[in-house]
Structure formats: structure tokens, C-alpha cells
Amino acid sequence: MHPVAHLLTIAFTAPLLANAQCVLPADFKPPANVSVAVALHKDLSYTVERQIQVPVGQFQVWVNSVALDSLLRGTKDIPRVVGTVEFGGISFPSVGARRYVCLADGNSAVEQVVAFKENSYFAYKVFAYTLPQAQAVEYGYGEFFMTPEGNATQLRWRYSFSLKKDCFPGSWGALGRFLFRTTFLNTKYASFMNSAIETIKSEAESAHREGNQR
């Protein structure tokens, strides 16, 4: 959610990040940064969790090295990712690294690394959405919590939204957040996250098995 390339040597095969379907527009201007207010996340967040049969060190290397478009395949309500392009001169997964994310419907967003702790935690924010339906969103904030469970990884993925205060539904305060949560976050976006984490689990375990057979 939210996931990036590591500088570690991977223990099993993973696709490269490069994707010919995604290029920076000729008139692209890096968007202004947005501040993250973590206290707001308690109100507009959704969490999914799975146990993945891959050791945590190998899993983190894989999930942050695999092409984002192979994991975020979209749903009928949320467009799939078709590619990413890094910009800004800071390499992933360093804090502050940015990349331009291309969506299948022609829209885009910007992802930025917020925190990285090896084999345990990764956080990122997504902002500068061009999707019409996301114009009321100030930013999204994704967190991967990875806990070792023997030779497996317990993965918890939490995604939170901050709404702009000067337009609906954010301008409606608590009622607006309730409407956003019930009509989008806990429904359409929940389906997207559950689909994505199932893909992550399936692809990670498959790549791990193939790597062990080499």
C-alpha cells in the first residue's frame, strides 16, 4: 500500500520496478509536501491482516522489491496501478523518497516514504491524487507492520485517510467522516485492500516456493 524497492539482496526472484506504461508527464511539477497528523488516523482507518508463509526478512525484501502493479490490481471501484517512476533524487526505501504512481484509468498520485524499520515497519503517504473522486482527500497514509511468527510473517496493513476541511465530506466534520467511512472506506476501499493483501500473500508464497526449488 503501499510498498517499495529495498537495497537488500533478495532471497528469491522478484520482478523489477520499471514499467513502460508509466512515465512522468513533460509538464510534471513535484507537488508540495503534506504534513501527516497521525492522531487523525484513528477515525478514518481500515486494517487487514494475513499470515504469510515466508520468513519476515525474506518477505520484507520481496514485498518492497516487487513491481507495485503486480500487487495492486484494483477492483471495479478502484483502478489498478500500472507502473511507478521515482523522482526527487532520494532512492527507495530511504525516508523522503518519492515516486509517481500511474493508474489504469489515466490518473495518478504521488507516494512518499515516511518511515522504514528493517523487518518490522514501513510507512508511506499518498497525495496529489488526480482522480476526480479523490479531490476531497488530503492524503492517504499506509503502514505495514511485520511480525515474525516462526518461519512465517504476520502482516498487518493499516491505511488511513485525512480529508480536506474546505470541501465535502471533510467540511461536514464528524458527520462527513462517518459518511466517508461507511460509503467508501469500509466498503469500496476495504474490498481493494482485502484483494491486494490476498495477492501479496499468494505471490509472496509462490515466489518463496520457487526460490527454494532453485
Distance CA 98, CA 126 (A): 10
- Quick one: pLDDT at residue 2? 33
The C-alpha cell that represents 39 in the structure block:
492522531
Q: What rounded mean pLDDT belongs to the chain?
A: 87
Give the rounded distance of the alpha carbon of 200 from its chain centre: 12
Do residues 162 and 134 make contact, with C-beta atoms less than 8 angstroms apart? no
Do residues 93 and 87 make contact, with C-beta atoms less than 8 angstroms apart? no
What are the tens digits of pLDDT across the range 161-206? 999 999 999 999 999 999 999 999 999 999 999 999 999 999 999 9
Domains and CATH numbers, the chain: 45-212 (3.30.530.20)
Mean pLDDT of 10-25: 53
What are the tens digits of pLDDT across the range 104-122? 999 999 999 999 999 999 9
> What's at 115, amino acid-wise?
A
Q: Report percent pLDDT > 90 for the chain.
A: 76
Distance CA 41, CA 27 (A): 33
- Quick one: pLDDT at residue 21? 80
State yes or no: pLDDT of 1 exceeds 80. no
State yes or no: pLDDT of 96 exceeds 90. yes
Give 110: exposed, middle or buried? Use CB within 10 Å, 0-12, 13-18, 19+: buried
Reported pTM: 0.86
Do residues 190 and 79 make contact, with C-beta atoms less than 8 angstroms apart? no
The dihedral region occupied by 88, where left means phi > 0, alpha psi between -120 and 50, and beta the remainder, is left
- Quick one: pLDDT at residue 127? 96
